[in-house]
């Protein structure tokens, strides 16, 4: 498969009065088109900083990111991504509390100036896909954590971006809802393929979801290892191969995940 994102020698250092903090150290990584890539790393290692840079919400200290839009006659069309062009599911819901579910989901299309009828139609489609068709006119405060994150996922999909960045989207959910959401996100991805970068600190979640898992070290984050689970989907958490891979990854992590 063709490359969709090419990250080369990415570094990020925050400079503050109290001193410098190096958070990303020479991250190089290629992401394939329509791949479900998982970034697995311990708490505070720099996962959100990396995703924010990929989304154009922050800038790297050095290094480059190329987004490959297409490939014509063997020549790649490399695109500049502007802020807001990539769909992102945030670690902390980040919904507008004064807007309804459907208004939240259609936000990026509204900002692009797409007319109301068209963006409503598209928003309804994604709201249905995440199973919230009866909650279009509800406000975020009326929803459970899992439902709020479904809105976040529908909003990212509705941005029509072919790249979706998901920052520990299920981190705040209870274990049962977390398993269920994992299954659902894979179902959505199969129906409507996009290139997904999914961040987690949970080894099981990484193995359940990922076409490929990139293990990051503790802060500053570096690419420590890569794993490709050779397991049929839906993956069985109790299968021997699943448990073996889980142990292999756990033995290679810097800190308790
Ligand atoms: N704007 C900033 N200025 C200074 N330091 C920052 C800034 N943003 C993040 N950091 C530091 O970068 C490090 C990594 O933060 P980041 O939020 O990326 O971690 P994370 O891996 O997403 O953690 P978690 O799993 O808890 O979400 C932390 O030490 C944090 O304090
Ligand atoms: Mg984070």
Which residues form the domain of 13?
1-80+206-256
| Within-domain flag for 166 | no
Mean pLDDT of 8-26: 96
The CATH number linked to 221 is 3.40.50
| Within-domain flag for 103 | no
pLDDT at 257 > cutoff 70 = no
Would you give the distance in Å from CA 25 to the centre of its chain?
Answer: 20
- What pLDDT, on the 0 to 100 scale, is given for residue 83? 67
Which residue minimizes the CA distance to atom 30 of ligand 1? 44
Mean pLDDT of 51-80: 86
Instruction: Share the mean pLDDT of the chain.
Output: 92
Instruction: Please indicate whether residue 46, judged by its CB atom, sits closer than 6 Å to ligand 1.
Output: yes
CB 152 within 8 Å of CB 169: yes
Instruction: Please indicate whether residue 235, judged by its CB atom, sits closer than 6 Å to ligand 1.
Output: no
- What pLDDT, on the 0 to 100 scale, is given for residue 255? 67
> How many angstroms does the Cα of residue 191 sit away from the middle of ligand 1?
33
Instruction: Please indicate whether residue 177, judged by its CB atom, sits closer than 6 Å to ligand 1.
Output: no
| Within-domain flag for 201 | no
| Within-domain flag for 248 | yes
Number of Cβ within a 10 Å radius of residue 158? 24
CB 195 within 8 Å of CB 6: no
CB 222 within 8 Å of CB 45: no
> How many angstroms does the Cα of residue 55 sit away from the middle of ligand 1?
16
Instruction: Please indicate whether residue 217, judged by its CB atom, sits closer than 6 Å to ligand 1.
Output: no
In whole angstroms, what is the distance from residue 46 CA to residue 6 CA?
18
| Within-domain flag for 26 | yes
- What pLDDT, on the 0 to 100 scale, is given for residue 102? 97
What percent of the chain stands above pLDDT 70? 97
| Within-domain flag for 105 | no
Point out the ligand nearest to the CA of residue 47. 1
- If one counts the domains in the chain, the total is 1
pLDDT at 116 > cutoff 90 = yes
Would you give the distance in Å from CA 1 to the centre of its chain?
Answer: 20
Quick: pLDDT tens for 172-227. Answer: 888 998 999 999 999 999 999 999 999 999 999 999 999 999 999 999 999 999 99
Which residue minimizes the CA distance to atom 25 of ligand 1? 43
Quick: pLDDT tens for 22-63. Answer: 999 999 999 999 999 999 999 999 999 999 999 998 999 999
Which residue minimizes the CA distance to atom 5 of ligand 1? 14
Sign of the C-alpha dihedral computed for residues 44, 157, 197 and 67 taken in this order: negative
């Amino acid at each position: 498969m063709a490359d969709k994102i090419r990250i080369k020698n990415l570094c990020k250092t925050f400079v503050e009065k109290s001193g410098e903090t190096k958070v990303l150290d020479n991250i190089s990584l290629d992401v394939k088109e329509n791949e479900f890539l998982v970034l697995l790393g311990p708490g505070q290692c720099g996962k959100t900083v990396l995703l924010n840079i990929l989304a154009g919400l922050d800038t790297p200290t050095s290094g480059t990111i190329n987004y490959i839009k297409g490939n014509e006659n063997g020549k790649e069309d490399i695109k500049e991504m502007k802020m807001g062009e990539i769909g992102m599911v945030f670690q902390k819901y980040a919904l507008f509390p004064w807007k309804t579910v459907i208004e939240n989901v259609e936000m990026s299309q509204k900002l692009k100036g797409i007319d109301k009828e068209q963006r409503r139609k598209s928003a309804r489609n994604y709201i249905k896909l995440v199973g919230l068709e009866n909650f279009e006119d509800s406000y975020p405060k009326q929803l459970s954590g899992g439902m709020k994150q479904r809105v976040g996922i529908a909003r990212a999909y509705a941005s029509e971006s072919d790249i979706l960045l998901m920052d520990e989207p299920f981190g705040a959910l209870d274990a049962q809802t977390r398993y269920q959401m994992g299954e659902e996100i894979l179902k959505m991805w199969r129906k409507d393929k996009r290139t997904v970068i999914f961040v987690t600190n949970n080894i099981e979640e990484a193995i359940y979801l990922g076409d490929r898992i990139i293990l990051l070290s503790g802060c500053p984050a570096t690419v420590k290892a890569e794993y490709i689970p050779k397991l049929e989907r839906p993956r069985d958490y109790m299968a021997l191969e699943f448990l073996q891979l889980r142990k292999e990854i756990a033995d290679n992590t810097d800190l308790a995940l």
